[in-house]
Every structure is written in structure tokens, then in C-alpha cells.
Amino acid sequence: MSTLPDVRDLKPAGGKRSSKREQILNVFLNEEGHLTAEELVSRVQRDDRRVSRATVYRTIQWMVDAGIASRVDFGDGLARYERSYHHPRHNHLICNKCHRSFEFMSSDIEQLVDEVAASRGFSASQTVVQIHGVCEDCQHGRPAGSDHGLTDLLFARDALRMAIATERSGLEFYTRAARLTKDARGRSIFQKLAEEERHHLGTLEGRYAELLKRDPELETRPTFLFFKGAAHGLFAEGADRLLQGVDDQQALLVGIRCERGSHQFFKKYGERFEDSEGKQIFLEFASEEREHLDLLMREYRALVKRQGRRPRKGAGVPAARGTRQGRRA
């Protein structure tokens, strides 16, 4: 779970210290889910009846201005507030029967929003996606389940699932590349990376098993991160490409494209997330993929030099420093 901040460090420009404000802020940050203003009043006054309703309402606006809280509207006429500090950006599924909301993130939705905004020359600052309907429990007449307070845990679970899927596809890719490569040095590089993928995969699977111990029902809870490409492994397409017939240079280039894509994906989303266990997993994985990318690029340049051939057009691999091409770049 993410670590809650020191409330004394959270204030908008010009904000003044206030013991009551800090008291309200502490209550809010320790709550999960979406609170109406009156629900927050009730929780605060449960601890201290001296805090007035007006003070709570002013503090809510202060938290919104400070970027600590965000306002959400589920279409029922009630404004609700949720933590935006140490909380990943997300969208909502809203049940019209039980009025529960379910959080999720989708890279496909983000990409579509970016494309639409870019096509209109629009600079987007906020996106609100809400899907209204009837949840699975209500459809089948079951008592409402609860994933209350589990967003960070679901995020970490899905982040690990993506990392594991990527390692599995990477292991398949490098194992296949090692069998196909004729150059002895290149083959040894692929074998080394395959072994590293196998080791990393074991480590990630161990972390996943430990995560499941924190919640016996975690494996069956709804998906939070909808990232289709990463969910199926970012090297799967590259592994298929090897079967179409490639030479040693092409095999390295396919690996470079896969590692670059994986690094960029995990780094991009890891940097967007607020502090959390999921963010840490993404950034750790991005760092590992960067190391592999650098290794493959060095090996590609070395292979080109050994073969006395020019780099393939569009390879996207910088020339080594000190070469004429490198100096021009």
C-alpha cells in the first residue's frame, strides 16, 4: 500500500497551518473509496464534535485546490471526493442498482483520448470516463461484494501480471533467437538474456505469490489495469517474427524493438502513476528493460562491424561514439 504523506507538507500556495484542517485531512486520507461531504463530516465529528460542518466543507475545497482530492460525479446528484494524492489516475464503472463504483485504468482509452485531442489541437488536462450500468452481483441477485480499499493491491497485482507476461514472452523470444542465430557471439548474448528472463520470471512469480497471501480472494477480484498489449506479453509479436525467417542482424533488431517498446511502456506509465507498489514494479521493470536494450544495441553495432556491413536502414541504433557517423549525430 502507498505511504500516506505528512499533512504538514500538503498545502496550496498561501495555505496556512490549521490543526482542524490537518485533523480533517488525516481522516480523509485514511479513508478509501468515494466520500460525500456529509460522509466526511460524519467521520470527522465521530472523532471530534467540535469540528464544524462549515470547516469540513472549506477544507474539502482546500484539498481539491491542493490536488489532494478530486471531485467525482456519479450522476445521482451527489458530489463525491476521492484521494488523488498517492492514488493512480483511473476511470469508473458505476452500478445504477447498488450505486457502487468500480475503478479501472485502460491504456486503450488513454490512447484514444490523446488521438482525439491531438486531431483537434486540443490540450487535455483531465479526462473523466464513467460507464453506467448494472454490476455482476446485482445482475445475479447476489449480495454486494467488496473490494473497498483494495485499489493499490489490485494495481500491484495487475502490474505484476503484466511484468510476468512480458518476461514469459521475452524468455520465449530469446530462447528462439538463440536457436536461430548463427553468429556465436550473438547466440551467447541471446542465451544470456534468456537465462536472465528465466531468473527474473522466477523472482516476479515469487512476488506475486507473496502478494496473494495478503488477500485470499485477490486472484479472482476484477481487473484494474486494462493494458492489452502488456497483458499478453510485449515480446509475443517479436517471437512470432522470428519464425518468419531472419538473419542475425534482423534478430537483434527485432529484440531491440521489443526491449525499447517494453522499456518505454513501463517507464511511461510508471512515471504517470502516483506513489504505490504498482508504480515501483513498473519502474523497476523499466530499468531492467533499459539494461537489456543497451546490451542489444552494443551487440548490434559490434556485429555490423565484424561483418563489415552497414547498419540496416531504419534500424534506429545510434552509432558508437567516436565513429564518423556518431560524430555527425
Judged against a pLDDT cut of 70, whether residue 71 lies above it is answered with yes
The CATH number of residue 159's host domain is 1.20.1260.10
Nearest C-alpha neighbor of 92 from the set 70, 67, 64: 70
Same domain, 31 and 125: no
Assess if residue 256 is contained within a domain. yes
Query: Looking at the domain assignment, is residue 6 inside a domain?
Result: no
Q: Average pLDDT in the 297-319 region?
A: 76
Structural domain of 55: 12-85
Q: How far is CA 22 from CA 56, 59, 84, 90, in A?
A: 11, 9, 17, 26
| Same domain? 185 vs 258 | yes
* Residues 220 and 289 both lie in one domain: yes
> Does one domain contain both 139 and 158?
no
Q: What mean pLDDT comes out for the span 53-68? A: 88
Mean pLDDT of 311-321: 58
Least reliable range by pLDDT among 136-145, 204-213, 250-259: 136-145
In this prediction, residues 152-170 reach a mean pLDDT of: 91
Same domain assignment for residues 209 and 292 = yes
> Residue 111 half-sphere exposure, CB side, CA atoms within 13 Å?
10
- Whether residue 298 sits in one domain with residue 156: yes
The pLDDT tens digits of the residues spanning 123-156 come to 876 677 888 899 888 998 888 766 555 777 888 9
Same structural domain for residues 290 and 170?
Answer: yes
Q: How far apart are CA 250 and CA 241, in angstroms?
A: 10
| Predicted pLDDT of residue 109 | 84
In this predicted structure, what is the pLDDT of residue 259? 96
**45 and 163 inside one domain:** no
Confidence tier at 258 by pLDDT (50, 70, 90): very high
CA distance 249 to 307: 10
Closest CA to 30 of 55, 18, 47: 47
- Is pLDDT above 70 for 4? no
Are residues 258 and 110 both part of a single domain?
Answer: no
Bridge partners for 174 per DSSP: none
Average per-residue pLDDT for the chain:
83
Least confident of 28-32, 55-59, 90-94, 213-217: 28-32
- Any domain includes 197: yes
The answer as to whether 3 is a domain residue is no
pLDDT in tens, 108-120: 888 888 899 999 9
313 burial type by CB count under 10 A (0-12 exposed, 13-18 middle, 19+ buried): exposed
CA angle 186, 192, 197 (to 5 degrees): 125
What pLDDT sits at residue 316? 62
Mean pLDDT, rounded, for 237-244 = 92
CA atoms 5, 6, 7, 12: torsion sign = negative
pLDDT attached to residue 12? 46
pLDDT-based confidence at 312, cuts 50/70/90? low
Which one is predicted more confidently, 170 or 85? 170
Q: What pLDDT shows up at residue 146?
A: 60
**CA geometry: angle at 21 spanning 20 and 23, to 5°?**
60
Residue type, 60: I
Beta carbons of 73 and 116 less than 8 angstroms apart: no
Q: Which of 35, 52, 85 is the last residue of a domain?
A: 85
* Spatial distance between the Cα atoms of 82 and 84, rounded to a whole number of angstroms: 6
In a domain, 311, yes or no: yes
Query: In degrees, to the nearest 5, what angle opens at C-alpha 150 toward C-alphas 288 and 138?
Result: 130
Lowest mean pLDDT among 61-70, 211-220, 257-266, 291-300: 61-70
One domain for residues 306 and 231: yes
C-alpha cell at 228: 492489452
Cell for 27?
Answer: 481522516
Contact 293, 260 (CB under 8 A): yes
Could you identify the residue written with the cell 548490434? Answer: 300
Confidence of residue 85 (pLDDT cuts 50, 70, 90): low
Residue 7, classed as helix, strand or coil, is helix
Using a pLDDT cut of 70, give the percent of the chain over it. Answer: 84
**Per the structure block, which three cell numbers stand in for 85?**
494524492
pLDDT higher than threshold 70 for residue 321: no
3-state secondary structure 174-199: HHHHHHHCCCHHHHHHHHHHHHHHHH
- Within a domain: residue 295? yes
Q: Is residue 278 part of a domain?
A: yes
The per-residue pLDDT for 57 is 92
Q: What is the pLDDT of residue 326?
A: 40
20 and 58 Cβ atoms separated by less than 8 Å: no
Of 145, 160, 191, the domain-final residue:
145
Q: Is 305 helix (H, G, I), strand (E, B) or coil?
A: helix
The answer to whether residue 257 scores a pLDDT higher than 80 is yes
329 lies in a domain? no
CATH number at residue 111: 3.30.1490.190
170: nearest Cα among 108, 263, 269: 263
Provide CB contacts within 8 A for 94, sequence distance 6+: 74, 75, 100, 101, 102, 130, 131, 132, 133
Q: What is the pLDDT of residue 295?
A: 96
Q: How confident is the model at residue 325 (pLDDT cuts 50, 70, 90)?
A: very low
pLDDT given for residue 157 in this prediction: 92
Please check the confidence at residue 49 and state whether its pLDDT lies above 50: yes
Give the model's pLDDT for residue 145.
Answer: 66
Query: Given pLDDT bands bounded at 50, 70 and 90, which one contains residue 100?
Result: confident
Q: Indicate if 93 and 58 belong to the same structural domain.
A: no
Tell me, yes or no, whether 236 and 110 share the same domain.
no
Provide the domain count of the chain. 3
